[in-house]
Structure 1
Amino acid sequence: MDNQLLYLGKTIINRKKEIAQEIHEKRLADARVSTEDQESFQQINDQIIEIRANFIALFGEALMRPSEQQTAYEEMRKWAEETGQYIYKLGIQLDEALKDTSYYRIYIWKALKEEAIKLNLSAAIIFDLISIIDPLLDKAVHDFSLTYVKAFQSSLESAKTSFLELSVPVVPLVPGVGVLPLIGNMDTERAQHLMEETLKQAGKLQLTHLVLDISGVLIVDTMVADQLFKVIDALSLIGVKTIITGIRPEVAQTIVTLGLDLSNISVKANLHQAFKEIQLIKEM
């Protein structure tokens, strides 16, 4: 029985390029990729065919070593991690990549069926094949998907970090005076980042006054207001006076409705008024 599995494994390995090519051509045909596109991506096609062939070879190796299931799983995990990263970097969607699963199942079993008929294999051998091939393919799908999702999450976190860094641009105007234009919605994470970065940049720029322009903030609720008040209080502790500008009419109505108290905060209609007040204070 082991000799038959060994033979089938060697057959799969020997035919890996042939099977990979069949899968690739069928995949392109079903996806209706034009001849022009196929030619323009010929280099990447060759790489993908090589990836497919290496993947198919893992099944052949697993058949040759049926008692070493854990080794087969470990090799499959390594392939899935490397390929998952590669496919993600190519910009291929996960659901599109996973469509390959059915093609591998069909064409690997097609090759095995051809050999099974030639050798007149017993039902026992067929069940052995099923117990090796199908779980290994499931393992590949699981590990590939996990790697792809992790790569996506990492990229998302990196983009989010970059966005947060760009979302707190304290712009120095004249010595001691800066302006911080806030744009978009405020959530808890961004509010925390706002606190940290504003204090850091205020100290670095040696500010005495900061104009906090919220004309780009569409929604102000109790959470947003509370976070802004905390930023203003923290700035006052390091000697920075804050002036709020750009309160939109609908935001002003919301503030009144919520009963928020701005009596202890300097509020101006626009940047011009804020700069004028700062200039008067500096002249005193």
Structure 2
Amino acid sequence: MTEIFDQVIANSTEYHNSQHKLRLLKLEEELLELSAPIVPIKEHIFVLPIVGVMSDERATHILNQVVPEIANKNAEVLIIDFSGIHLLDTYAASRIFTITETLNLLGIRTIITGVRPEMAQTTVQLGVKLIHLEVYRDVKTALEKLN
């Protein structure tokens, strides 16, 4: 009888743990989606504000989920605003330029705004060439240049 009771408790615990893990995964997916909203500004012009930490997971989410969504919206211009980034690791910084190059290959003009001094230093240390990128201080300035 004790063995049966122990097995029931073990199965119940395993079930509840797996349900908890599924809920956590779903919450993480929802947070990733909310962490990279595509904001329409004008016809064919969108802003992608990045707030918080730019991690590898977030960069991968943007590359795999957000970029195709932007392409499906027939975007001509995407302004990626980094003014809300508080932490950027070296790998994620390099992934940002993979994202911009992917967008450029899709025919989407990519503009970067809100680069902080720390991010600029990381980018320079990586040896990333910014010749093909348009960079402005803030979204307002980028929108003024587009007009």
Q: Which has the larger radius of gyration?
A: 1
Which segment is superposed worse, 267-276 or 214-223? 214-223
Pairing partner for 2:88 from 220, 229, 236: 220
Of structures 1 and 2, the one scoring higher in RCO (CA 8 A, sep 6+) is 2
In the superposition, the TM-score normalised over structure 1's length comes to 0.48
Q: State yes or no: 1:189 paired with 2:57.
A: yes
Instruction: Give the corresponding residue for 1:275.
Output: 143
Instruction: Give the corresponding residue for 1:179.
Output: 47
The one-letter amino acid of 1:185's match is: V
Instruction: Give the corresponding residue for 2:104.
Output: 236
How far does residue 251 in structure 1 lie from its aligned partner after superposition?
Answer: 2.4
Query: 1:218 aligns to what SS in structure 2?
Result: strand
The CA deviation string for residues 219-273 of structure 1, in whole angstroms up to 9 with x for no partner, is 2232112211111111111111111111122322333344433233211111111
1:116-265 → structure 2 map (5 Å cutoff): 132-133=1-2, 135-265=3-133
CA distance in 2, matches of 1:232, 1:151: 37
Which has the larger share of helix?
1
Query: 2:55·2:88 contact (CA, 8 Å) conserved in 1?
Result: no
Which has the larger share of strand?
2
CA distance in 2, matches of 1:238, 1:254: 26
Query: 1:182·1:216 contact (CA, 8 Å) conserved in 2?
Result: yes
Query: 2:55·2:89 contact (CA, 8 Å) conserved in 1?
Result: no
Query: 1:162 aligns to what SS in structure 2?
Result: helix
The CA deviation string for residues 55-94 of structure 1, in whole angstroms up to 9 with x for no partner, is xxxxxxxxxxxxxxxxxxxxxxxxxxxxxxxxxxxxxxxx
Query: 2:54·2:89 contact (CA, 8 Å) conserved in 1?
Result: no
Cα pair distance change 1:250/1:190, threshold 3 Å: closer
Aligned residues: 147
In the superposition, the TM-score normalised over structure 2's length comes to 0.88
Query: 2:90·2:122 contact (CA, 8 Å) conserved in 1?
Result: no
Gaps of 5+ in 2: none
Identical aligned residues as a percent: 31
Gaps of 5+ in 1: 1-131, 280-284
